[in-house]
Amino acid sequence: MSFISVNNVWQRYGDQVVLEGLNLHVDEGEFCTLVGTSGCGKSTFLRLLLGQETASKGQILLDGQALAAEPDASRGVVFQRYSVFPHLTVLDNVALGLELPHAPLLGRLFGNAKKHAREQAAALLQKVGLGHALDKYPAQLSGGMQQRLAIAQALIMKPRVLLLDEPFGALDPGIRKDMHQLLLALWRETRLTVFMVTHDLSEGFSLGTRLLVFDKVRVDPHAPGAYGARITYDIPLNSARRKALAVELGATAQ
C-alpha cells in the first residue's frame, strides 16, 4: 500500500483538459520533483494534492483515505511568492501555526502557552538560519530569507506532505544552492514526503529521489485544449539517497 495513490485523475476547466488519466503511487518519504513546460499542469497537480482544487474525475488517496477537499494541516505548502504573512514578525509567522489549531476562539495563545509556542518557533527558525531576524517583518528580509521563513512556517506544523511550488524560482543561483542544502537537510531529518514543482531541470535532477515529467502525449493543433498532460517519464534518481530511505523505512517497519 503506497502512501499516496493517484488513481485516474482528470482535471478540466470547461472545455480545456489540463490533466488526463493521471496514475501515480508514491511511498512515504519520497522527494518527487515535478518538471515540464509551462502550462502543462504540474502546478494544477500540486493544487490537487493541496486540496485547493478538486479533481474533475478520479481520486487521490493519502494513506488509503480520500484527500480532504480543502487545505488542512496535514499538507504544508511553500509558494514562489506570498507565502508569508506581511503583518507578522518572523517569529510570529512561525508561531502562528502553533497558535491557530489550539485557539479556535481568538486564534492566539496567551501566557505560558504563548511563551512555549514562541520558544518552539524560535528553535526552528534558528535551524533554518533565521535566528538573528526573529523580530523583523518579512518585507525587511531578502527573497531567500523569506523562503527560509516560509519553509520553517510549513515545517512547524509537522505535516506529512510538503508541497513546494517553484519555491526558489525567484532566487539568485548562489542563494538557490544554499536553499537546496537546507531543504535536503530538513528532508533527511523529518522524513517528509515532498512534491516540488520546478522549472529548473538540474534542480529537479539533483534534489529529488524521483523525477516526474509532465507532458502532453496527444496534441490536436486545431484544439489545443482538447487533450491534457500525463506523466510521461517517472525516473528514479540519486540511488544512494533512495537506498538510505529504503533502509530507514524498512527499519521503522520492523
Binding interface with other proteins (CB under 8 A)? 50, 52, 70-73, 75-77, 79, 81-88, 96-97, 99-101, 103-104, 106-108, 137-140, 153-154, 157, 159
Cell numbers of 107, please?
486564534
Rounded to the nearest whole angstrom, what is the least distance from the CB of residue 94 to other proteins in the complex?
Answer: 9
Beta bridge partners of 3: none
Q: Closest CB to other proteins among 146 and 209?
A: 146
Instruction: Pick between residue 74 and residue 206 the one whose CB is nearest to other proteins.
Output: 74
Q: In angstroms, what is the minimal distance from the CB of 159 to other proteins?
A: 7
Q: How far is the CB of 160 from other proteins (least distance, A)?
A: 12
CB of 93 to other proteins, least distance (A): 9
Q: Which is nearer to other proteins, 196 or 211 (CB)?
A: 196
Grid cell locating 181: 542544502
Q: Which is nearer to other proteins, 35 or 121 (CB)?
A: 121
CA 67, 70, 74, 79 torsion-angle sign = positive
Which residue from 244, 223, 232 is spatially nearest to 30, judged by alpha carbons?
A: 244
CA–CA dist 92, 106 (Å, integer): 15
Q: Which is nearer to other proteins, 85 or 205 (CB)?
A: 85
**Shortest Å distance, C-beta 15 to other proteins:** 24
**Helix or strand or coil: residue 22?**
strand
Q: Closer to other proteins by CB, 153 or 198: give it.
A: 153
Smallest distance, Å, CB 96 to other proteins?
6
Could you tell me which residues come within 8 angstroms of residue 161 by beta carbon, excluding any fewer than 6 positions away?
4, 49, 62, 74, 75, 76, 192, 193, 194, 195
Of 136 and 176, nearer to other proteins (C-beta) is 136
CA distances to 63, 84, 111, 184 from 181, in Å: 29, 21, 36, 5
Q: Considering the complex, what minimum distance in angstroms separates the CB of residue 42 from other proteins? A: 17
Could you write out the DSSP letters of every residue in 174-216?
A: HHHHHHHHHHHHHHHHHT-EEEEE-S-HHHHHHH-SEEEEEEE
* β-bridge pairing 4-13 and 193-197: unpaired
